[in-house]
Amino acid sequence: GAGVSQSPSNKVTEKGKDVELRCDPISGHTALYWYRQSLGQGLEFLIYFQGNSAPDKSGLPSDRFSAERTGGSVSTLTIQRTQQEDSAVYLCASSLAGARYGYTFGSGTRLTVV
Amino acid sequence: AQSVSQHNHHVILSEAASLELGCNYSYGGTVNLFWYVQYPGQHLQLLLKYFSGDPLVKGIKGFEAEFIKSKFSFNLRKPSVQWSDTAEYFCAVADGGSQGNLIFGKGTKLSVKP
């Protein structure tokens, strides 16, 4: 597609429920990144996928968070047993050849856990 | 580990004032540096980037940034701000020698009074 597409744009969920957030990167971009943006906290790196390499999961805050990327394209970020502190905007970005060339960001998914 | 510091949390200026937003990073190797902007209600957009060569980088909308290696700095400047520059600005660094992810600062919110 023309840009990075994320869905849903907004998600309200009850504490303890699982959620799935979807990212559709720019066609042909080999690298895909997930970040979390909280008020006053900037962008917190979560995970990235580069081609067929094993993902770098070093930023995932707990084992309740996981992500996969199918067929080198669409990615899903899953948060299990959501907590109120998971409330944030989850951003996806993709890059043609890696971080050092910069990213194109999606519009994000605003997750609210009540 | 790499880190990025943005010194100002919130900057308030009047139109036509000059702008300088500070950004310092901690990493001793080759770096690629970026400024992203997030206008109210919009997604993050690339403002400018530094790869190599001329340390003075010009971006969109009259912005520029200067890479000073000895100071580990990449400050953003604009000679005369406009009300439409009201946004949040994020500095980011990537390891220029390998794959990986961008490390972002916490952002600086700029409010321009008309």
User: Which residues of chain A are within 8 Å of residue B106 when distances are taken between CB atoms?
Assistant: 40-42
Q: What is the per-residue pLDDT for A14?
A: 97
What does the DSSP 8-state code read for residue A84? G
Nearest CA in chain B to A3: B43
Higher pLDDT, A91 or B29: A91
Q: Does A25 touch chain B (CB under 8 A)?
A: no
Mean pLDDT, residues A16-28: 96
Domains of chain A: 5-113 (2.60.40.10)
Q: Does B1 touch chain A (CB under 8 A)?
A: no
Q: Which residue of A has its CA nearest to B32?
A: A100
Average pLDDT over residues B36-54: 93
What is the separation of C-alpha B37 from the centre of its chain, rounded to a whole number of angstroms? 8
Contact (CB<8Å) A103/B99:
no
Residue B44 near chain A (CB below 8 Å): yes
Sign of CA dihedral B8, B14, B15, B18: negative
The mean pLDDT of B52-60, rounded to a whole number, is: 94
Query: What DSSP letter does each residue of A52-80 carry, written as one string?
Result: TSPPB-TT--STTEEEEESTTS-EEEEE-
Mean pLDDT of chain A: 93
pLDDT at position B6 is 96
A102–B49 CB contact, under 8 Å: yes
Class of domain B3-106 (CATH, top level): mainly beta
For residue B48, the Cα-to-chain-centroid distance in whole angstroms is 8
Strands (E) in B6-86, as ranges, are 10-14, 19-21, 24-26, 31-38, 45-50, 56-58, 64-68, 73-78
Residue A40, pLDDT > 80, answer no
How far is residue A32's CA from residue A98's CA, in Å, rounded to a whole number? 9
pLDDT value for A18: 98
More confident residue, A73 or A72: A73
Give the mean model confidence (pLDDT) for residues A50-62: 91
CA distances from A105 to A43, A68, A95 (A): 12, 18, 9
For testing contact with chain A, the best of B74, B101, B102 (most A CBs within 10 A): B101
- The residues spanned by each domain of chain B are 3-106
